């Protein structure tokens, strides 16, 4: 650390050419699979450096080695020009490397402060840490309540914990794996201000993102990986998102083909849905009303933790809605029906959580198929699983949605997040449902895969299905939806045509109805 300080204060101009961290010829093999194959990467102090690549290109493997979670099979790391072997995360933290993980490394049963304390080296009292959490999180516009248990928090709030946890360590190099995928445009803007401030203070940032607009705006250098190998180095400011995507994928990304859809009869509707949350930290839904016609795609925008999960649970029938409300599918009242009965009426659901909610990690894909198809009587013959059919169905989904599998019919847990997402969305769309409800369809999915999923959603609507897309990604909403409502603190705004509103308008609705990010959570159960 002493050398690092000297670099910054005395010899900054001269030594700026020495990379803060350099990875040379890093190779990581898992059995016969090369996740990284002679990868090189170097980051200068104060630089915001993008690491780009599709799902499974080896980005996560590379940063895990930088953080000491994995050990390279061969190759070397240099820190300030000195050869280092980073054996464990504690050592990485001592060097000054902080990391925000894509798949959260949080403990659900513990509080925010306890979670943060576990990532700090040295003995400090929880009260002390809690105080600093409040201070740092507010100053960076990422408000957190230190005493809340993580299991009661939304995905967005969990991401904030990861970020704040890193900031508290005052890192020299900050590795961020998909930090903005769960943030609103306004929140992301705040984060960029933070990152630029850190960069100005001399902190290097290695930034992994699928949002290429963001990379172009923020980063001054980029390393692009494809199939575990370096394919390009560039200055993203001089590129376009399309040219960056081409380097990542190796081919052009298809644009979503807008369809000429005609809207028909109302296929799905909710009236007067109010429900107090069972969870003391949950969001109470307040008089939610919506309706979707055949051929129509309704987007529900909103910051994570404003009632999306609660709403999804009631729409899918995982929670039974109160009798005062009316939920109709193709003019049949389903308010009191459970999830299977609803599926039998031709509805399909894709939940937000991939592992454990949408798919069982320890089951193979063909078995995961059965989880949603058995309800509608598919793939079951006289009470027995028809393994031939489930296998055929799942391999069709794998092929049609370009799910990259390490071997035929792997366990779901072996797929990367984006690939599993493609499989889950594909599984439901292949059933050709009359109504599709999908929560965060492309969260943590790369540009190519997201395009595949969005195109499939649009194509389904063209066939006359009614679709509800719950998403935090405004680009996605504008790309696929005909109309949009905003959910904020459990209330849903009336639907507006996407042609009649812009990002700013939606942003105002997200924050303007009483759930601005400053007070989110604190008052969600106070009225």
Name the residues that contact another protein, by CB under 8 A. Answer: 68-71, 88-93, 101, 104-110, 114, 117-119, 123, 149, 151-152, 278-280
- Return the SS3 of 107: coil
In the complex, the smallest distance separating the C-beta of residue 89 from another protein, rounded to whole angstroms, is 3
CA distance 489 to 492: 8
Nearer to another protein, 160 or 427 (CB): 160
Yes or no: say if 256 and 295 are a contact pair by the CB < 8 Å rule. no
Supply the angle between the helices 417-429 and 447-462 in degrees, to the nearest 10: 10
Considering just the CA atoms, what is the radius of gyration of the chain in Å?
Answer: 24
Nearer to another protein, 25 or 279 (CB): 279
Nearer to another protein, 90 or 336 (CB): 90
Nearer to another protein, 70 or 208 (CB): 70
Nearer to another protein, 230 or 319 (CB): 319
In the complex, the smallest distance separating the C-beta of residue 119 from another protein, rounded to whole angstroms, is 5
Q: Which residue carries 């490394």 as its tokens?
A: 105
Six token digits for residue 515: 């759930």
In the complex, the smallest distance separating the C-beta of residue 279 from another protein, rounded to whole angstroms, is 6
Beta-bridge mates of residue 33: 30
Yes or no: say if 93 and 66 are a contact pair by the CB < 8 Å rule. no
Burial per residue of 129-152, b for 16 or more beta-carbon CB atoms within 10 angstroms, e otherwise: bbebbbebbeebbbbbbbebebee
Within 8 A by CB and 6+ apart from 189, the residues are none
In the complex, the smallest distance separating the C-beta of residue 30 from another protein, rounded to whole angstroms, is 8
- Return the SS3 of 519: coil
CA distance 387 to 430: 18
Nearer to another protein, 69 or 371 (CB): 69
In the complex, the smallest distance separating the C-beta of residue 94 from another protein, rounded to whole angstroms, is 10
Q: In this structure, how many other beta carbons lie within 10 angstroms of the beta carbon of residue 463? A: 12
Nearer to another protein, 69 or 363 (CB): 69
- Return the SS3 of 358: coil
Yes or no: say if 347 and 268 are a contact pair by the CB < 8 Å rule. yes
- Return the SS3 of 201: coil
In the complex, the smallest distance separating the C-beta of residue 444 from another protein, rounded to whole angstroms, is 17
In the complex, the smallest distance separating the C-beta of residue 464 from another protein, rounded to whole angstroms, is 38
Yes or no: say if 490 and 521 are a contact pair by the CB < 8 Å rule. no
Yes or no: say if 6 and 80 are a contact pair by the CB < 8 Å rule. no
In the complex, the smallest distance separating the C-beta of residue 107 from another protein, rounded to whole angstroms, is 4
In the complex, the smallest distance separating the C-beta of residue 84 from another protein, rounded to whole angstroms, is 15
CA distance 315 to 290: 11
Nearer to another protein, 117 or 472 (CB): 117
Counted residue by residue, the chain has a size of: 527
In the complex, the smallest distance separating the C-beta of residue 158 from another protein, rounded to whole angstroms, is 11
Nearer to another protein, 130 or 398 (CB): 130
Nearer to another protein, 31 or 499 (CB): 31
The alpha helices in 287-332, defined as continuous H runs, are 308-316
Six token digits for residue 390: 């489930």
């Amino acid at each position: 650390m002493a050398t690092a300080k000297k670099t910054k204060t005395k010899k900054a101009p001269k030594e700026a050419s020495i990379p803060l961290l350099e990875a040379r010829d890093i190779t990581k093999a898992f059995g016969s699979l090369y996740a990284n194959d002679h990868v090189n990467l170097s980051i200068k102090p104060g630089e915001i450096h993008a690491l780009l690549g599709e799902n499974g290109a080896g980005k996560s493997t590379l940063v895990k080695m930088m953080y000491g979670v994995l050990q390279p099979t061969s190759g070397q790391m240099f820190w300030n020009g000195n050869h280092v072997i980073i054996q464990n995360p504690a050592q990485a933290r001592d060097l000054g490397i902080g990391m925000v993980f894509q798949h959260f490394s949080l403990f659900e049963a513990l509080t925010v402060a306890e979670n943060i304390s576990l990532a700090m080296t040295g003995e400090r009292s929880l009260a002390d840490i809690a105080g600093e959490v409040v201070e740092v999180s507010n100053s960076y516009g990422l408000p957190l309540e230190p005493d809340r248990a993580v299991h009661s928090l939304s995905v967005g709030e969990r991401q904030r914990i990861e970020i704040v946890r890193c900031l508290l360590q005052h890192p020299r190099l900050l590795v961020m794996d998909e930090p903005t995928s769960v943030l609103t445009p306004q929140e992301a803007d705040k984060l960029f201000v933070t990152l630029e401030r850190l960069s100005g203070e001399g902190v290097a940032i290695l930034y992994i993102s699928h949002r290429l607009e963001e990379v172009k705006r923020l980063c001054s250098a980029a390393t692009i990986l494809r199939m575990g190998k370096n394919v390009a180095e560039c200055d993203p400011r001089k590129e376009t998102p399309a040219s960056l995507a081409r380097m990542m994928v190796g081919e052009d990304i298809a644009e979503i083909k807008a369809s000429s859809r005609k809207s028909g009869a109302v296929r799905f509707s909710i009236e007067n849905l109010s429900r107090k949350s069972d969870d003391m930290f949950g969001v109470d839904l307040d008089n939610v009303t919506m309706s979707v016609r055949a051929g129509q795609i309704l987007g529900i925008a909103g910051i994570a933790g404003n009632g999306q999960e609660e709403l999804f649970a009631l729409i899918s029938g995982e929670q039974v809605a109160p009798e005062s409300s009316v939920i109709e599918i193709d003019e049949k009242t389903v308010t009191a029906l459970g999830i299977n009965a609803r599926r039998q009426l031709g509805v399909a659901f894709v939940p937000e959580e991939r592992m454990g909610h949408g798919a069982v990690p320890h089951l193979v894909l063909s078995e995961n198929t059965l989880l949603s198809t058995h309800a509608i009587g598919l793939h079951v013959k006289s009470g027995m699983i028809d393994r031939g059919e489930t296998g055929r169905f799942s391999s069709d989904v794998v092929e049609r949605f370009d799910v990259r599998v390490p071997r035929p019919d792997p366990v779901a847990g072996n797929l990367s997040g984006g690939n599993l997402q493609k499989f889950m969305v594909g599984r439901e769309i292949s059933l050709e449902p009359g109504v599709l409800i999908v929560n965060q369809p492309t969260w943590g999915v790369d540009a190519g895969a997201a395009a595949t999923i969005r195109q499939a959603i649009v194509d389904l609507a063209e066939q006359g299905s009614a679709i509800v897309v719950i998403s935090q990604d405004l680009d996605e909403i504008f790309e696929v939806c005909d109309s949009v409502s905003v959910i904020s603190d459990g209330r849903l705004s009336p639907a507006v045509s996407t042609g009649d509103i812009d990002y700013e308008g939606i942003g105002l609705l997200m924050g303007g109805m009483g759930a601005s990010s400053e007070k989110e959570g604190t008052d969600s159960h106070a009225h």
